[in-house]
């Protein structure tokens, strides 16, 4: 698996060509902040989700009535990207549509993923270009897993605090599909104390109202996590696993008993011919 390393005097990041996925995030003192992908819990680290987020009914999507096989979170995370450019503190990987991708997603596209370091922050940006002559529906999202507890914070209470101080309504998944009924928010004035019991029923999904930033931390050690053009937020871990995923999305899994038409999935992006959409997150370590 081809990997490259970028860095500055404060942080180092490795990125794999497979999925253009960040593999490590290490500060100058040698502390690791990103989950290491131990398959005993979950083999992912920071996958990019495209062209769907979450599951499709029967692992198939439909485009204008034609059905195509599509696994959970799409195919980008299992695709090999080409390295387009790199410098000491950034790299850009590209995935282009192909005969193989047309067999499951009938659109011409270019997906570019950039990792860039500024101080103690890493920014991950996705650009989706619609090279088709038709409206292109898709979901896109990020799935970074950060260590829980954070480095040096064993035994401390960890919290997620929304920058907007909100209490967004919660929805849950059933068999990987969204149950549309809104539940009471677990946030109180923007604050949520993390506990593994929160994830006993799978991910917590906040389709609206989470804003565009949060603080994940314990005491003074934290990650300030912000995102762009991604209206949905999910938090996920496996109960007892030493990581938590902070997941900003545009588009969610299909709803229970909902349509399998990709264009009808909740919050899906509809990009016009020749248009380019930009989406991303930044994780700043404190």
pLDDT in tens, 225-238: 999 999 999 999 99
pLDDT above 90: percentage of residues in the chain: 98
- The confidence score (pLDDT) of residue 1 equals 56
- The confidence score (pLDDT) of residue 239 equals 87
- Classify burial at 87, counting beta carbons within 10 Å of its beta carbon; exposed 0-12, middle 13-18, buried 19 or more: exposed
Does the structure show a pLDDT above 60 at 212?
A: yes
| Residue with tokens 């799978």, as numbered in its chain | 202
Computed over every residue of the chain, the mean pLDDT equals 97
What b/e string do you get for 168-193 counting C-beta neighbours within 10 Å, with b at 16 or more?
A: bbbbebeebbbeeeeeebbbeebebe
Strands (E), 108-261: 109-118, 121-130, 136-138, 140-142, 145-147, 159-162, 170-174, 177-183, 191-193, 204-206, 213-218, 221-228, 232-236, 243-250
The DSSP secondary-structure symbol of 45 reads S
Helix (H) / strand (E) containing 100: helix 99-102
Does the structure show a pLDDT above 90 at 222?
A: yes
- The confidence score (pLDDT) of residue 208 equals 97
How much is the pTM? 0.96
What CA–CA distance (Å, rounded) separates 176 from 74? 14
């Amino acid at each position: 698996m081809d990997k490259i390393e970028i860095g500055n005097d404060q942080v180092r990041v490795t990125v794999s060509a497979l999925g253009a996925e960040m593999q490590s995030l290490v500060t100058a003192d040698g502390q690791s902040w990103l989950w290491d992908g131990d398959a005993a819990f979950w083999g992912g680290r920071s996958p990019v989700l495209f062209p769907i987020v979450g599951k499709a009914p029967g692992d198939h999507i439909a485009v204008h009535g034609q059905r195509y096989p599509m696994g959970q979170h799409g195919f980008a995370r299992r695709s090999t990207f080409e390295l387009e450019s790199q410098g000491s503190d950034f790299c850009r990987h590209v995935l282009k549509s192909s005969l193989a991708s047309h067999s499951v997603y009938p659109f011409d596209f270019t997906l570019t993923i950039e990792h860039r370091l500024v101080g103690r922050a890493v920014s991950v940006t996705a650009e989706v270009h619609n090279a088709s002559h038709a409206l292109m529906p898709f979901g896109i999202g990020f799935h970074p897993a950060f260590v829980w507890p954070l480095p040096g914070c064993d035994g401390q209470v960890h919290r997620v605090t929304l920058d907007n101080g909100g209490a967004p309504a919660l929805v849950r998944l059933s068999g990987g599909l969204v149950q549309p009924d809104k539940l009471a928010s677990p946030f109180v004035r923007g604050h949520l104390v993390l506990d593994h019991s929160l994830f006993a029923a799978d991910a917590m999904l906040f389709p609206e109202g989470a804003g565009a930033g949060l603080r994940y931390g314990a005491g003074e050690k934290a990650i300030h996590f912000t995102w762009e053009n991604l209206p949905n937020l999910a938090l996920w871990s496996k109960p007892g696993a030493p990581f938590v995923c902070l997941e900003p999305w545009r588009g969610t899994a299909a709803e229970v008993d909902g349509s399998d038409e990709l264009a009808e999935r909740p919050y899906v992006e509809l990009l016009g011919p020749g248009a380019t959409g930009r989406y991303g997150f930044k994780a700043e370590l404190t």
